[in-house]
Chain A
């Protein structure tokens, strides 16, 4: 039995009005990878913020026992001194600084008034090698991909002499290859004696990498599963997280009749807005029929979002060529406004960045894309607006005290519902959903799937972009597979298996 490195005992943390953590207990042994899973808002991140001193000692109840000693962390510096380093979900690197500068930010090498740059870069290179990066530490962050940036974050943590590394959703912005590489790196660190806590939504990753899994639900720790002794399956974990058996993770669609082609693109090519010689979408042809859910699967960077946004009123890319046919007629859409007028909707993957106005109410966000329907002579009918927002809140089961609630105060799943409501109210025929369930919990995912089914049942067409294979397979009638800017395969639902889809990607990778 290894030593217990960290023990969090009876941690209770209250925010005014809400008990975010209620008597949480967590034990982490030295040299293990401990996974923390739970629905959004279950309290995982709050717990880690307590541990790392972001919520300072005194604002919570309970004890943190680290290395056998009760600790009082007043800020993040205190916990880092002891070797507890947290890597947040959102990368905190500064784009126009070099890797080396970023790595020692706040932890500069040399004297206080005289930074030793030679030492900085040579040490940075050393840590980069440890995480398997061969780039020079003088490279600017903006010039490397998100996968590498995540590795730089880890190298940065190592440079702080981390003994206990906390990774909050480390793979949320990585593609499958990079994710796998990261998880393997974690296993490698484990062999060298590092202790790690990983927070993740992706259950397959958790079962791949973790030694122990603690399930958090509604601010309490429910149970800790030991991967050596317990039988671990994704369904088993999900049951713990939501306290119900998820025998059916995807709702059944009731006999939707598939009709004529609603939208078709032919030989669609798009170039990168900054590197004008780079094709981000290369000669893509695809179509979607009435009442059909078409999945587009591809790894991150395959060009899926670029395809969708360029179709949606040329909101991305330059030098766009190809035909767009809506309802049998060729159209040219020059702005999102024209796209909306032609009954097209693009529901973004980045709801906070470009989908919602977080400082505005649910009401204002819902009406945003279709104010025309609510106004006469540019004057908004506020009663109607209120009624519409209230209708969608009840229809989509958005959890909120009122439609006046600011969207920024909602959880991820509920924000996604507001985003969907906004585009449903715009009354489109074709909805392009870009990663509609990213970063939301299992229960909310199921509800989003139900909404998608309702949409096609009402005769709409849905194009669903996703990088989660089970979701694409479970939801789509037909699947396009995209890789390196091209469509590399098309499979009907009946032939779609994880193996077939991955085979399409691997095959083209070899040819290229």
Chain B
């Protein structure tokens, strides 16, 4: 058996290939509009929250297919509180952030306690938040504003999650962005080759050299393209820095640490985990506490992007995060899934959303397509698993 035959490589990366095919499809359908600089930025800033919530949802799903339905409504409530604290009471930004994160921790602790220690099924415990937070958020906003929205956030508050790093006018090459891009390429290349060299040295099964070279060239091309496009559109969006940092952090947690292993084990077989000395309750507790804190970050991103807190903010965000996980191959039963997979899922859904909007497709039809994509991803996943099981 050759793990690196062309067939197997393609099979392992099906979702990535699907993503490229879909992208090219939209490049053709939109006459290249989706390939312009400003659409690259749009793709990132519109979907940043999906990556952040997706990371939290992934941790919940790993523990056994558990989900959090309350994230969308909590985004709305946190936004509303942010508006009241920052705009109406004019509390300075660091303290505002502290208060918001504190609220996230408080909700996370309560939710974690309900789910982990009182054994309330997660979808019921979070359904309560789904209903209550939307109501509470809307109530706060309507009570202080006739338009049920709060805008005029202070600039230093908005700058944390919006705008660009070392901004330059559009159309002029942004030098810091280029330097950063080159550094990224170099880092990826060094990591690929040292990882292979390490495997060879220790006598493990290693990828063939050609595979590593090909993979590195492809990755370099993608990062290079992204760098160029972003450099031409004013620089790296601040929100991208957050997203990348969060992705790297959770990837590390999942794949390299004991904590990540505990999440996988609880989802894989809860009883085995318990008898192996893992405290399942703590794992569940941490999953939901973590989700709540990430939801606060996502809420800040969305508020900063719209420069306002709205009563409709965060609608269906929980579904976006769950879809990203499912399309990204995270097991709906728990125990398996990667941050990278989830990120691919989020990107694919983002591309489809953006592409359809640019094509001017009716909102209702967009929903139909998204539903279809989700179902297709699950069916495809089960189908490939079935086939590989026979081998």
Q: Which residues of A contact B (CB under 8 A)?
A: 15-17, 312-313, 315, 335-337, 339-341, 346, 348, 353-360, 364, 368-369, 371-372, 375, 378-380, 382-383, 386, 402, 422
Contact = CB atoms under 8 A, between A and B. Distances in A.
Given A15-B390, A16-B391, A383-B202, A355 B259 contact: no
B268 to A, nearest CB: 4
A360 B331 CA distance: 13
Nearest to A339: B277
A315 B274 CA distance: 8
Interface string B354-391: 00000000000000000000000000000000000011
A371 B261 contact: yes
A357 B261 contact: no
B275 A357 contact: no
Contacts of B257: 375, 378-380
A382 B202 CA distance: 12
A437 to B, nearest CB: 19
Contacts of A359: 268-269, 335-336
Contacts of A15: 390
A371 B258 contact: yes
Given A17-B391, A368-B272, A375-B257, 19 more contacts: A335-B277, A336-B275, A336-B277, A337-B277, A353-B269, A354-B274, A354-B275, A357-B264, A359-B335, A360-B268, A360-B335, A364-B261, A368-B265, A371-B258, A378-B259, A380-B257, A380-B261, A383-B202, A386-B204
B255 to A, nearest CB: 9
B256 A380 contact: yes
Contacts of B274: 315, 336, 354
A358 B269 contact: yes
The interface residues of chain B, by DSSP majority, are classed as: helix
A436 to B, nearest CB: 15
A335 B273 CA distance: 12
A378 B256 CA distance: 8
Nearest to A346: B275
B279 interface: yes
A380 B258 contact: yes
Interface string B246-287: 000000000011110100110011011111111100000000
Q: A379, A386, A402 — which one has the most chain B CB atoms within 10 A of its CB?
A: A379
27 contacts: A312-B275, A313-B277, A335-B279, A336-B274, A336-B275, A336-B276, A337-B277, A337-B278, A337-B279, A340-B276, A348-B275, A354-B271, A354-B275, A356-B269, A356-B272, A357-B264, A357-B273, A358-B269, A359-B336, A360-B264, A360-B335, A368-B276, A371-B261, A372-B258, A375-B257, A375-B258, A378-B259
Nearest to A357: B268
Contacts of A379: 256-258
A380 B258 CA distance: 6
A337 B283 CA distance: 14
Contacts of A378: 257-259
A355 B259 CA distance: 20
Interface string B277-316: 1110000000000000000000000000000000000000
Interface residues of B, number: 25
Interface in B121-154: none
The 7 A-B residue pairs with the shortest CB-CB distance, nearest first, are: A354-B271, A357-B268, A337-B277, A369-B276, A357-B269, A340-B277, A336-B277
Nearest to A423: B276
Contacts of B272: 354-357, 368
Contacts of A315: 274-275
A375 B268 CA distance: 21
Nearest to B252: A379
Contacts of A340: 276-277
Contacts of B271: 353-354
A118 B271 CA distance: 41
Nearest to A422: B276
A512 to B, nearest CB: 32
Contacts of B264: 357, 360, 364
A372 B205 CA distance: 26
Nearest to A356: B272
A312 B277 CA distance: 10
Nearest to A350: B271
Contacts of A422: 276
A382 B204 CA distance: 12
A426 to B, nearest CB: 8
Contacts of B275: 312, 315, 336, 346, 348, 354-355
B269 A354 contact: yes
A375 B261 CA distance: 12
A258 B269 CA distance: 37
Contacts of A341: 277
Contacts of A355: 272, 275
A315 B278 CA distance: 12
A357 B265 contact: yes
B105 to A, nearest CB: 21
A131 to B, nearest CB: 32
Nearest to B260: A380
Contact of B277 (A358, A364, A369, A375): A369
Nearest to B253: A378
A15 B271 CA distance: 32
Nearest to B199: A383
A409 to B, nearest CB: 9
Contacts of B335: 357, 359-360
Contacts of B276: 336, 340, 368-369, 422
Nearest to A372: B258
Interface in B309-354: 335-336
A339 B279 CA distance: 13
Contacts of A380: 256-258, 261
Contacts of A348: 275
Contacts of B336: 359
